[in-house]
Amino acid sequence: MSRAKRLAIVGYGTVGSGVYEALEENREKVEKLVGGFTIPLIVVKDGKKSRTTESGTKISEDIETLYKEEIDTAVEAVPDALTAYPIVKKLLEKGITVVTANKELIAKYGEELLHLAAENDCRLYFEAAVAGGIPVLSSIRHTLKVNNVEKIEGIVNGTSNFILTKMREEGTSFEDALEEAQRLGYAEALPDKDVDGWDAWYKTVILSHWLHGQPPVWPEEKPRGIRGIDVRDLHLAAAFYGRIKHTAVLEGTSARVEPRFVDADHPLYGVEGVNNGIHVKGSIVGSLLFQGAGAGKFPTASAVIEDIVNHWTNTAEAEPPYTEQRKEQETKEQDNFPYWFITGEHLQDLPDLVSEVRFLEGKEAAVLKCAREDLPDVSGTVYPVSGTLKEGKQLAASPVLS
């Protein structure tokens, strides 16, 4: 009979405590799948805090105890890449498999760490790093083996999605919606990575490596976030049967992270609140939507635990195909529907308009059709359109605002 699996957890905040609690609560089911397991060690930053754990679990502030403990697998659940990197690196060097939800760690150091894991006959798992509890990475790898994934569009940051939903539904300002997100625990005290688009940027990097074995090609040096979006833009979008959503788009290795006008016929249109949604277009299957909780204590813990169980039962998919050398791939965007939703002033005289101009409280909005490189220089905000927006009747029939 094989010995019980031994798991350590590094960090005991939202994710770490969620993993521990969910494993203990579901111990009977997990043990039916993997045999026995123990959690002999949890490493924390502050050992003086009161924590409830089982008698066989030791809590330590000393990171060195982690490297001395005889463990098979470790869950890395610290809040930043800078702290996590040396810990994960040393564990992999010792041949210990690591499971993480740290998207910044994987985006910045994933290639190096995956090679290190391969060299030391262990694994690095990170399903929870993209879209929290939604099993999008394993689903793409396991169930779309024959399909070519032609395009991914995702709402992958629940904080931004919550803020935009609240602004549109209640007419609140960005600042008020952000304050509410922080009060409810959906946004950090320092929310820059979420609202400025970096969280979605990191996840897009991971998706590109997962699919293509190399980083994405970015047209700009940084993402576009939601800071500064006018609530009137959200209401004007509704006049054209759309919603402004913060999206990550990966087509081939060409990537963008930006707010977009999502048409009512698009699968991401109904992804609201703190939910995440990943729209995958496969060459055979067509359109798929993965939707659910993209963050939170137990949704994220669920993804981490599934990685652990898949590893312990030898049912995990093969490593992502990271490449030593960058491949030459077609990176040109294929805009099948090159429409643009524009808000601002004095839009009536713009070329290529395919809609009437709508007005709301001194602001105007319209839709035009042209290639990205032919966009006019306007004093306003330009949103790419996702969806099968049609010219003519649909747009002309949209309600007039006042």
Q: Which residues are catalytic?
A: 203
* Among 324, 344, 40, residue whose Cα is nearest residue 209: 324
Amino acid residing at 375? L
Q: In Å, how far are 129, 131, 150, 195, 234 from 287, measured between CA atoms?
A: 23, 18, 10, 28, 26
CB-CB contact of 216 with 204 (8 Å): yes
Query: What are the tokens at 11?
Result: 């960090």
* Among 287, 259, 291, residue whose Cα is nearest residue 278: 291
The 3 state secondary structure assigned to the chain is: CCCCEEEEEECCCHHHHHHHHHHHHCHHHHHHHHCCEEEEEEECCCCCCCCCCCCCCEEECCCHHHHHCCCCEEEECCCCHHHHHHHHHHHHHCCCEEEECCHHHHHHHHHHHHHHHHHCCCCEECHHHCCCCCCHHHHHHHHCCCCCEEEEEEECCHHHHHHHHHHHHHCCCHHHHHHHHHHCCCCCCCCHHHHCCHHHHHHHHHHHHHHHCCCCECCCCCCCCCCCCCHHHHHHHHHCCEEEEEEEEEECCEEEEEEEEEECCCHHHHCCCCEEEEEEEECCCEEEEEEEECCCHHHHHHHHHHHHHHHHCCCCCCCCCCCCCCCCCCCCCCCCCCEEEEEECCCCCCCCECCCCEEECCEEEEEEECCHHHCCCCCEEEEEEECCCCCCHHHHCCCCCC
